[in-house]
Amino acid sequence: MPEFDAYLMVDWSASSSRVSGVNSVWYCQVDRTGGRLSVQEPENPRTRHQAVDKIREVLREHVRKRQTTLVGFDFPYGYPAGFAKALGLTDTPAWISIWREIAGRIVDHDDNSNNRFEVAADFNRRVSGSCYPFWGCPSTRASATMSCTKGGSGLLAEKRITDIGNMQPIWKLFGNGCVGSQALLGIPYLAALRNDAVLAPVSRVWPFETGLGALPGRPMRDYLIVHAEIYPSLLPIQPTEWEVKDAVQVRTMAAHFAALDDTGELSRLFAGPAVLTAEDRERIEREEGWTLGVLSGQQVQPRLALQPPHVQPSAPWTVTETPPHRGGSGRTTEPQRFRNQHSD
């Protein structure tokens, strides 16, 4: 029996204005009903608030029907080990203290304007008193603790163990592949979904709350929703000239995980690579997190061919106790050997 009834994949955006199309939020869902898979048309809300409001309602409906759902956002769920300590956070585990700190500081308005550069600059002040570890901003946001280009170096690793190939570092906030801004603006929403009054009792964040291990079978789980970090560029795609790349990526990834689930291969992805040491696994579960599907430094061929021939596109998502503040108004890769060497 497949582990999930639905697969909801989200391509996030750090845009500071309302936007649609390229470089905006896209999400797509594949549903399984009566053994049949249905690929929904990708949705493209213009703001992060709109996106998460819609995703919340989708997840609540799945919970009402007691359906299991895999939810994936394409930003890092954790930071390189040692970041919480560097910030002076003492709550354990470290990932929760970081999520709470970010959620308590980020203000994201209804029009997508936000204070991410100011928050990152203050984090730099607390960590180093200079432009480290976060970097990258418009010239108008530069300050004594935030630089437009990469600043100095320090004890924190540039990347996490899971970050492969040309994945951008989470400290980068501006320019191509500014995954750092996506994380700062995404974690508060992810925390709000995880702790939604309806969803919280049946939600878990992998691998922080489930452990880095093969997913238990349905009868062994007391939760319906699994949140897992994804990396759409792990799967090569070939969008047509009239398709938006982000839309194709979330559709491809949702269908890919559904296909793996049909063949019983999805559960093992939750265990991560076998080459990880016990120390690596503790670090991943405590603070850094892992990207679902990363088992090596190579791209993975989509398993769309494994879908049943009847799959057709059809017509028209406690860590913190409060949702993100609201006001009135990506990553790239190339094949590369898996990086298992790292520094604290």
Looking at residue 303, its pLDDT comes to 73
Decide: 177 and 302 in contact? Cβ < 8 Å.
Answer: no
Q: Which amino acid is at 62?
A: H
Looking at residue 186, its pLDDT comes to 98
- Residues 6 or more apart whose Cβ sits within 8 Å of residue 340: 161, 273, 275, 276, 280
Strands 26-33 and 203-205 come out as unpaired
Q: Which amino acid is at 25?
A: V
Which regions in the chain score pLDDT beneath 50? 305-322, 328-344
Note the pLDDT tens digit of each residue in 78-114: 999 999 999 999 999 999 999 999 999 999 999 999 9
Looking at residue 334, its pLDDT comes to 31
Q: Which amino acid is at 233?
A: S
> What distance in Å separates the CA atoms of residue 292 and residue 276, rounded to the nearest whole number?
15
Task: Show the beta-strand stretches assigned E in 183-334.
Answer: 203-205, 225-229, 312-314
- Give the number of other CB atoms < 10 A from CB of residue 16: 17
> What distance in Å separates the CA atoms of residue 119 and residue 115, rounded to the nearest whole number?
6
